Every structure is written in C-alpha cells, then in structure tokens.
C-alpha cells in the first residue's frame, strides 16, 4: 500500500552511510510500554536513552530488545532495566563507517 511504502521511505531516510542519523530517544523515566510502542510502530529494537529523552541530550544508556523482552511489568521505568552508558560501546559523531565497524567487531556488540 502507499502507507507501507511511505513507512519504508521514512526508515531508510533515518540512515546515512550505515549510521542512524536521527534516532528515536527515550529518557530513563520512560517505561517498558514506551519501548514496546516504538518497537511495534517503528520496528526499532535498540533505543538510545538520554537524560532528556531527546537527541542532543547526554547519553546515559541504551535499551535493546534483549533488555526489554524479559520485563513483565509494562510500567517499569527504563532506568531499572536499561544497559548503562559504561556498559556500551560508543564513538564520537563523525566516526567513519570502517572505524565504527572495527569498534563493533572488537567489542562484540551489535550497536555502537
């Protein structure tokens, strides 16, 4: 359908050279239900968590599909189950795709 095609175009436009350039972010105060809504409506399973819940805020962690899938309480705050900043692999904005891939390979993580 036209709506399905538009959804696919929106997904592709969020990526540039292998990077998500405009990620959907949440705050530590959001809940499991918020994560489930993003996964259901947008298909994202990895969500950056910033202190403000917005792009440009200080990164404090990430929620992956693995983090959220074992939480039964839909009202639980992200702060209580997210992977914290010190446990994830990060790189500065502007990192090359080759360097980013090397960092991922060395860390054996799925997201940078």
Q: What is the DSSP string of 43-108?
A: ----EEEESSSSTTSPEEEEE-HHHHHT---TT-BGGGTSEEGGGS----TT--HHHHHHHHHHHT
- Is there a contact between 60 and 49 (Cβ–Cβ < 8 Å)? yes
pLDDT value of position 77: 96
pLDDT value of position 16: 47
Q: What is the mean pLDDT of residues 25-33?
A: 95
- Is there a contact between 29 and 82 (Cβ–Cβ < 8 Å)? no
State the residue for tokens 């904005």: 93
* Measured distance CA(23)–CA(54) in Å, rounded: 9
Query: Is 97's pLDDT higher than 80?
Result: no
Q: What is the mean pLDDT of residues 82-90?
A: 83
Between residues 89 and 46, the one the model is more confident about: 46
**Mean confidence (pLDDT) of the chain:** 80
- Measured in degrees and rounded to the nearest 5, phi and psi for residue 3 equal -65, -40
pLDDT value of position 42: 85
Q: How confident is the model at residue 57 (pLDDT cuts 50, 70, 90)?
A: very high
Q: How confident is the model at residue 37 (pLDDT cuts 50, 70, 90)?
A: very high
Query: Is 13's pLDDT higher than 80?
Result: no
């Amino acid at each position: 359908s036209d709506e399905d095609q538009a959804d696919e175009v929106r997904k592709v436009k969020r990526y540039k050279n292998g990077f998500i350039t405009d990620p959907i972010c949440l705050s530590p105060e959001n809940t499991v239900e918020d994560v489930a809504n993003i996964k259901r409506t947008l298909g994202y399973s990895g969500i950056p968590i910033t202190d403000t819940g917005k792009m440009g805020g200080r990164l404090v962690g990430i929620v992956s599909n693995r983090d959220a899938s074992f939480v039964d309480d839909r009202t639980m705050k992200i702060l209580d189950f997210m992977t914290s900043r010190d446990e994830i692999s990060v790189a500065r904005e502007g990192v090359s795709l080759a360097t980013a891939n090397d960092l991922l390979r060395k860390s054996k993580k799925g997201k940078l």
